[in-house]
Chain A
Amino acid sequence: MAKASFPKLAARPGVGERLIDALLSGRGIWPAVPAIVVLTVVAVIPFIVLLSLGFSDFVVSRGEIVSQTFSLDHLSNALSDSLYWTTFQRSLTLALSTTALCLIFGYPVAYLFLVGGRWTKRLILVLTIAPLLTSGIVRTYAWLVILGGRGVVNSTLAGMGLIDQPMRIMNTHWAVLIGMVQIHLPVMILPLIAVMSRHDGRLVEASENLGATRLGTLRTVILPLSVPGIGTGAALVFTLSYTTFVVPQILGGGNYLNAATMIYEQVVYSLEWSKGSVSSLILMLTCLVMLVAIALVTNHFTRWTRGSDA
């Protein structure tokens, strides 16, 4: 009988290949190591240095710190300073109203994406993503042209005879808010669209078949199912607008003080690094608290997703 010839087993891979295989096995955190190293060097270590400046008195001589002693003075000074309170309150108000307005303007677009035809969907995607292709700074400067004293808004209103003198929009709270909403709208719409397109399109038909009106369907089916998208969008827009620097700086014309512009002034103009450090810490912690709050609310409205492992 002829000797059976088995196909040869694959040759034992070399050391390099075996190492890569081990890395890709999913055991341990090895694939994440490059990112961790980079982040430690460029983010974690500088942040620790920054924190140490906020919690110490130090003496600088010829550009170097020569003595440093632990101190809570900067933190207690900041907490007793009413400027901090009003600035952070302003940041919070701005971020919350931006988030709310983005949701109000973004949700209908996402709804249209859900119920619209193929071309409506494509158009919405293109129009949502296109602004992200240009820099936020460029888009912010564009608002100068629109909102300025002789800008499009004022000249149109004047042309229609609705106003005698140009309205002062630039360098106000309103200019900042308008800019913020426009810049951050895509960040709200995209998660909403992602969540909505994940669900079975038949759900809307089923709801109407069971006698629901369009509004009824929106209220009882589409809205509850899009809560995770609302949560993600709100968290992103809130974080970005709470810590934003460019829009308030440009559209606020240097008059608008929010947390980020305050830190900028403390560090760059008045060279008060300790103050800047404490401000940054407060900004980060309050942002974290808000994110946890958003997560808790979102979780409360998506309890049904956790019953799915039976």
Chain B
Amino acid sequence: MMKGPSGPATTVASAAPVLRIGAVSKFFGTFKVLEDCTLDVAEGEIVTLLGPSGCGKTTLLRCIAGFWEANGGTIEIDGQHMFRVPVNRRPVGVVFQSYALFPHLTVARNVGYALRMRGLPRAEAKARVAEALDTVSLTGFEDRYPAQLSGGQQQRVAIARILVMEPRVLLLDEPFNALDAKLRGTMQVELRLLIKRLGLTSIFVTHDQEEALTMSDRIAVMRAGCIEQVAAPDEIFDRPATAYVADFIGTSNFWSARAEGGLVRLPDGQTASTVLKGEVRVMVRPHNLRLDAAGQGPWQGRVAFHRSVGPLVEYHVEIEGGMTLRVATMRQSANRPIRDDASVSIAVVDPALCAVYPG
């Protein structure tokens, strides 16, 4: 079959996924680390595996890379089964948490390592190393050793080292952990833009939700070896599928209620719709709540504490029954923060954005 010139990236949306993970399980002894994990990753997509430590996200990454063999299920790349394909024959590049740069090799030789192992002619290898270093803006650093570079530069060398091997799938294992907080934010945006520009299909592992929200096209939230929800960052944030996801991503307020006739009555008198019946838990995000000083609404509380978090003011509001609600409002010059100890009335801004889970 003839292959036409490859069109713009947007037209491949319907094409077969580059990476297919089908019902993958992994045991250590009798301990089940992964259970029936299923995930498809499309060409050029960045999917994040997000979860607390010990949820199996790194295990799944190591199974894709081939460091560990899954005990059940299938891993396919471009339709080819990866079962029993050794690490060095998989079209997969890994950026390690520690970067794992070879300390005894210069930057140029680190980046050229994959080409040297493949026996590429020296001139061609040199050109491709130069190209990769240019891509990550490290031209001129060829003769440095890894120990002579900053954390951010080391990370870029680790990425360039993977780029030269032109992998089908890029795996990133918490690549920002070794960087200080300020650099992290910048590098997250830079790395996402770079990966998108190169059109690399990527799996990104992190326990940091902010990183996940920045980096991902889709997020797979993991819990105890299972994938709990896979969706775009906005959807994960606005419509978390389970209480666990809601609790893990962002700040959330929960309370118990009763659902009847497809409706849940909210404490402020409004109603939210649901398919559930009986005991339920209602979740609302802090920014979906509104405070009115000296209000007279049905939902009353007292401000226990407030603080400024950048452009937001966050209130901890004590309500009946000893619960504390978190409420976030935009800081506006005209609207002075409500003082601690003030009585307030609380209202839900948009009942449609309240999530209802089984109680």
By beta carbon, the residue of chain B nearest A303 is B104
Residues from 68 to 113 in B contacting A, C-beta threshold 8 Å:
86-89, 92-94, 96-98, 100-105, 113
Q: Is A205 an interface residue (CB 8 A)?
A: yes
Contact, CB under 8 Å: A209 / B148? no
Q: Is B161 an interface residue (CB 8 A)?
A: yes
Q: Is A208 an interface residue (CB 8 A)?
A: yes
Q: Is A62 an interface residue (CB 8 A)?
A: no
Q: Is A254 an interface residue (CB 8 A)?
A: no
Decide yes or no: A206 and B96 within 8 Å by CB, A211-B114, A213-B88, A308-B148 being known contacts.
yes
Contact, CB under 8 Å: A211 / B88? yes
Partner of B114, one of A203, A205, A210, A225: A210
Partner of A307, one of B67, B89, B98, B148: B148
Q: Is A202 an interface residue (CB 8 A)?
A: yes
Contact, CB under 8 Å: B145 / A209? no
Interface residues on B, range: 20 to 34
Q: Is B226 an interface residue (CB 8 A)?
A: no
By beta carbon, the residue of chain A nearest B112 is A210
Contact, CB under 8 Å: A307 / B147? yes
Provide the residues of chain B in CB contact with A202, threshold 8 Å: 96-98, 100
Contact, CB under 8 Å: B117 / A203? no
Contact, CB under 8 Å: A203 / B165? no
What's the Cα separation between A304 and B94 when bound, in Å?
A: 24
Decide yes or no: A307 and B145 within 8 Å by CB, A200-B100, A202-B100, A211-B114 being known contacts.
yes
Q: Quick one: which of A199, A209, A304 has the most chain B CB within 10 A?
A: A209
Provide the residues of chain A in CB contact with B284, threshold 8 Å: none
By beta carbon, the residue of chain B nearest A227 is B104
In the assembled complex, the CB of B312 is this many whole angstroms from the nearest CB of chain A, namely: 39
Contact, CB under 8 Å: B145 / A216? no
By beta carbon, the residue of chain B nearest A302 is B104
Contact, CB under 8 Å: A304 / B88? no
Decide yes or no: A308 and B65 within 8 Å by CB, A205-B87, A208-B88, A209-B93 being known contacts.
no
Contact, CB under 8 Å: B98 / A200? yes
Q: Quick one: which of A205, A206, A302, A310 has the most chain B CB within 10 A?
A: A206
Q: Is A207 an interface residue (CB 8 A)?
A: yes
Q: Is A224 an interface residue (CB 8 A)?
A: yes
Provide the residues of chain B in CB contact with A216, threshold 8 Å: 117
Total number of residue pairs linking A and B with CB closer than 8 Å: 77
Provide the residues of chain B in CB contact with A199, threshold 8 Å: 103
Contact, CB under 8 Å: B102 / A203? yes
Contact with B along A178-212 (1 / 0, CB 8 A): 00000000000000000000011011011111111
In the assembled complex, the CB of A116 is this many whole angstroms from the nearest CB of chain B, namely: 15
Q: Is A288 an interface residue (CB 8 A)?
A: no
Interface size of A in residues (CB-CB distance below 8 Å): 24
Contact, CB under 8 Å: B93 / A310? no
Contact, CB under 8 Å: B100 / A304? no
Partner of A209, one of B92, B101, B147: B92
Provide the residues of chain B in CB contact with A205, threshold 8 Å: 65, 67, 87, 94, 96, 100
Q: Is A137 an interface residue (CB 8 A)?
A: no
Contact, CB under 8 Å: B165 / A308? no
Partner of A212, one of B101, B103, B117, B162: B117
Contact with B along A45-84 (1 / 0, CB 8 A): 0000000000000000000000000000000000000000
Partner of A207, one of B89, B113, B144: B113
By beta carbon, the residue of chain B nearest A212 is B117
What's the Cα separation between A308 and B103 when bound, in Å?
A: 9
What's the Cα separation between A308 and B101 when bound, in Å?
A: 14
Provide the residues of chain B in CB contact with A210, threshold 8 Å: 88, 93, 113-114, 117, 161-162, 165
Q: Is B118 an interface residue (CB 8 A)?
A: yes
What is the predominant secondary structure among interface residues of chain A facing chain B?
helix
What's the Cα separation between A131 and B89 when bound, in Å?
A: 42
Contact, CB under 8 Å: B102 / A211? no
What's the Cα separation between A227 and B87 when bound, in Å?
A: 26
Contact, CB under 8 Å: B165 / A225? no
Provide the residues of chain B in CB contact with A203, threshold 8 Å: 100, 102
Provide the residues of chain A in CB contact with B105, threshold 8 Å: 304
Residues from 206 to 257 in A contacting B, C-beta threshold 8 Å:
206-213, 216, 220-221, 224-225
Provide the residues of chain A in CB contact with B97, threshold 8 Å: 202
Residues from 122 to 163 in B contacting A, C-beta threshold 8 Å:
144-145, 147-148, 161-162
Residues from 8 to 63 in B contacting A, C-beta threshold 8 Å:
none
Provide the residues of chain A in CB contact with B101, threshold 8 Å: 206
What's the Cα separation between A225 and B144 when bound, in Å?
A: 17
Contact, CB under 8 Å: B104 / A304? yes
Decide yes or no: A209 and B113 within 8 Å by CB, A202-B100, A304-B145, A308-B148 being known contacts.
no
Contact, CB under 8 Å: B88 / A209? yes
In the assembled complex, the CB of A43 is this many whole angstroms from the nearest CB of chain B, namely: 38
In the assembled complex, the CB of B353 is this many whole angstroms from the nearest CB of chain A, namely: 43
What's the Cα separation between A199 and B98 when bound, in Å?
A: 12
Decide yes or no: A209 and B117 within 8 Å by CB, A224-B104, A304-B104, A308-B145 being known contacts.
no
Contact, CB under 8 Å: A209 / B94? yes
Provide the residues of chain B in CB contact with A208, threshold 8 Å: 86-88
Provide the residues of chain B in CB contact with A221, threshold 8 Å: 102
Provide the residues of chain A in CB contact with B102, threshold 8 Å: 203, 206-207, 221
In the assembled complex, the CB of A118 is this many whole angstroms from the nearest CB of chain B, namely: 12
Provide the residues of chain A in CB contact with B117, threshold 8 Å: 207, 210-213, 216, 220
B residues in contact (CB < 8 Å) with A: 65, 67, 86-89, 92-94, 96-98, 100-105, 113-114, 116-118, 144-145, 147-148, 161-162, 165
The 5 A-B pairs with the shortest beta carbon distances in the complex, nearest first, are A308-B147, A202-B100, A206-B100, A310-B148, A210-B114
A221-B102, A307-B145 are known; give 16 further A-B pairs, CB within 8 A: A202-B97, A205-B65, A205-B87, A205-B96, A206-B96, A207-B102, A207-B113, A209-B87, A209-B92, A210-B161, A211-B88, A211-B89, A211-B114, A224-B104, A225-B103, A305-B103
A-B pairs with beta carbons under 8 Å apart, 17 shown: A202-B98, A205-B65, A205-B100, A206-B96, A207-B113, A208-B87, A209-B93, A209-B94, A213-B117, A224-B104, A225-B103, A225-B104, A304-B103, A304-B145, A305-B103, A307-B144, A307-B147
